Structure 1
C-alpha cells in the first residue's frame, strides 16, 4: 500500500469512490477478497469496511452492510445538527450493498461476527466502548505484566466508572508483582466494592470478558491488533479458564503465603520453579511481570541463599530443597550455607 494514503480517497463510508465500490461489492458477493485487491483502495481499510480474515491474514473480509449502516447512523445521531441530511443517503447506499450477498450473508440484527479483527488502537477503543455501553452484569479481566502504571489504569478508568455507576460487578486478575504498585491500590480504593482483585504468580495474556457474551484478546505482540470474540464456544472456554485461575488466585486483601524456606522470598520461589523447568531469564521475567534485570538480581540472591556457585549447581540445589515444584507445595529440605556446600 505504499504511496496510497487515505488522502487519495477523501470520502466517507456513505459515498464510496468508484474503485472502493467495486472492491467492496466483490467482497460482499464472495465473502472475502485477497488483500492485494485493496491496495489501490486504502479507504476500505481506513473506514473499516474491510478487515483481516482471522483464518488467513492474506485475505480481507467485509464488514456486514448492516453493521456499517448501524455504525454510521450512531455517529450521525451524535452529530444530528450538522449531518441529519446524510442519514438517508447512508441508509440508501448500504441497503443496496446488503442485497448483494443474499439473505444469509449477514448476521441477524443485534448480532456481531463470531470473530472480528480490530486493527488499530482507535478501533479497539471504539469496540471496548460499545461493549461497555451494552454491559449490564459483569466484567472479567486478566491483566498480565507487573506494576500497573498510572496512565495504564487511567486509560480504562472512564469505562470502569461507567460500569460501576450501573451496578456492574468487576473481577480482575493480576500477577503478584502488581501488589507493589500504588496506582493499582488507588484505583481499587476509588472503585470500592464494585471491583474485586486477586493475584497469581503467572496469568494468561490480557483478556476482557463482558457479560460472558463478548471477549477481547490481543491479536499480536504489541497489542496494536485485537480479536473481538462472540462465538459461544470460545466465550465458554475463556470463562472456564478465568474461573479456574480465579479459584487459584489470592485476594489482594490477603497476604501472600509465607515462604516455605527461610531467606527465600515468594517471588524467588516462583523463579526457582521456572528455572527448574529450563526457562531462560527473559521468559521467566515476562511470565512473572518483572524486568530481566530484576529477574537476574533475584537469581543471584537465590544462588547466594542456596550456596550455589554456578547455574548448574543452582539447578541441583533447587531440586534438593524442593523448590522445583509449584509454589504451594511444602518444602522438603532446608538450604545449607554457602560454606557447607
Structure 2
C-alpha cells in the first residue's frame, strides 16, 4: 500500500475523493468488496467507511450511510459548540478590554473628546485631524516650525486653516529659526495675517509642534512626517505648552533685528555654529539644527576659521573657546550690596 498514504487523500468523510466515492458506492450496493479493491483508496479505511468483514478478513464491508451521516452531524455539532465557546470567550475578553478603555471621570472638558494619544498614519488623516482641530479652536494656536526658509508652497498649504482661525479672532504665535527671516514667503504670510499672528525666532527650535487651545497637540511620529501623534492627555499637552512658553521667552521678535555678537566679523549665525562646533557636532547635524544646508554651514565655518585665524578644525575649537563663542553669551555679573554692609560689594 506504499504510495497511497493520507497525504494523497486530504479530505474527510463529508467530501470523498473521486476514487473513494466510486469504491464506497460499489461497496454499499454490493454489501462488501475484496480488500484488494480498496488498496488504491486507503482513505476509506482511515475514515472508517470500510472495515474488515469479521467472517472473512480478505473482504471489507461498508459502514451504513445513515451511520456516516449521524457521525458527520455529530462532528458539526461539536464544531459549532466549540465555536460558540470561542465566541463567548471573545465577548468576555472584549468586555474586559472595553472596561479598561473607559475614560476616567475628570473635571477636564477634554477628558471625553477622544483618546489621549492617537496615531495618524498618512498625510490625509493628518490633514483631516488638523482641520477638525482648527474648526474646534476658539482661543489660540501655538506652533513651532523647524527648518530653514519656508517655501511658499509649504506656507500656502495651511493658509486656509490660518485664515479660518483669523476670521474667528483666534490668536496665533509661531516660532521659527533665525534662518526663516530671510524667506520672502514667510514675510508675505505674516503681512497677510496681520496682527492675528506674532512670530519670533531662535537659533534652533524643537521638532514641529502645533497646539490648539492647549487641549490638543500634534507632533511628528517619524522622520518623514508621514505619521503624526494627536495628543489630548492633559499632562502631555500642558508640558508641551510649558516648553513652548519657555522657548517663546528666549526668542527674538521677527520685527526686531538680531542682537550683535559683540565680536567684530562674527555674525549671529556664525556664533551659533561656533557653539555647536564646540559641543562636538558634525557639519550635517549643525546644518539640520539651524535649518540651513550643509554647504552653507561649511561656508560659514570657513569664514569663522578665517576670522579667528584658525588653520585647522582643532585650532578652530581652541579659537572658539578663547573668543568665548563656545556657549551662550553671559552678561557681566552685577555687584550685590549687602544690607548690613552698605559699602561692601560681593561678586
TM class by shorter-chain length?
A: 0.5 to 0.7
Partner of 1:292: 294
Partner of 2:219: 217
**Separation in structure 1 between the aligned mates of residue 154 and residue 254 of structure 2, nearest angstrom:** 19
Partner of 2:177: 175
Q: Give matches, 1:1-341, under 5 Å.
A: 102=98, 105-107=101-103, 110-326=112-328, 328-329=329-330
Which runs of 5 or more structure 2 residues have no equivalent in the other structure? Answer: 1-88, 105-110, 333-347
Q: How far did residue 258 of structure 1 move? A: 1.1
**Separation in structure 2 between the aligned mates of residue 301 and residue 163 of structure 1, nearest angstrom:** 44
Query: What secondary structure sits across from 1:261 in the alignment?
Result: coil
Structure 1 residues 102 and 311 mapped into 2: Cα distance closer, same or farther (>3 Å)? closer
Q: Give the paired residue count.
A: 239
Partner of 1:16: none
Query: What secondary structure sits across from 1:112 in the alignment?
Result: coil
The two structures have a TM-score, normalised by structure 2, of 0.65
**Separation in structure 1 between the aligned mates of residue 187 and residue 90 of structure 2, nearest angstrom:** 49
String of CA shifts for 1:277-318, please: whole Å, max 9, x gaps: 111001100110000110000000000000000000000000
**Separation in structure 2 between the aligned mates of residue 30 and residue 224 of structure 1, nearest angstrom:** 33
Which runs of 5 or more structure 1 residues have no equivalent in the other structure? Answer: 1-25, 32-98, 332-341
**Separation in structure 2 between the aligned mates of residue 119 and residue 316 of structure 1, nearest angstrom:** 47
Confirm or deny: 8 A CA contact 1:172 1:197 kept in the other structure: yes
Query: What secondary structure sits across from 1:141 in the alignment?
Result: strand
Structure 1 residues 293 and 231 mapped into 2: Cα distance closer, same or farther (>3 Å)? same
Query: What secondary structure sits across from 1:136 in the alignment?
Result: coil
Q: How far did residue 330 of structure 1 move? A: 5.9
Confirm or deny: 8 A CA contact 1:116 1:228 kept in the other structure: yes
Q: Which structure would you say has the larger Rg?
A: 2
**Separation in structure 2 between the aligned mates of residue 256 and residue 111 of structure 1, nearest angstrom:** 42
Q: CA RMSD of the aligned region, Å?
A: 2.2
Structure 1 residues 291 and 102 mapped into 2: Cα distance closer, same or farther (>3 Å)? closer
**Separation in structure 2 between the aligned mates of residue 297 and residue 274 of structure 1, nearest angstrom:** 15
Confirm or deny: 8 A CA contact 1:28 1:101 kept in the other structure: no
Q: How far did residue 329 of structure 1 move? A: 3.2
Q: How far did residue 156 of structure 1 move? A: 0.5
**Separation in structure 1 between the aligned mates of residue 245 and residue 99 of structure 2, nearest angstrom:** 39
Q: How far did residue 106 of structure 1 move? A: 4.5
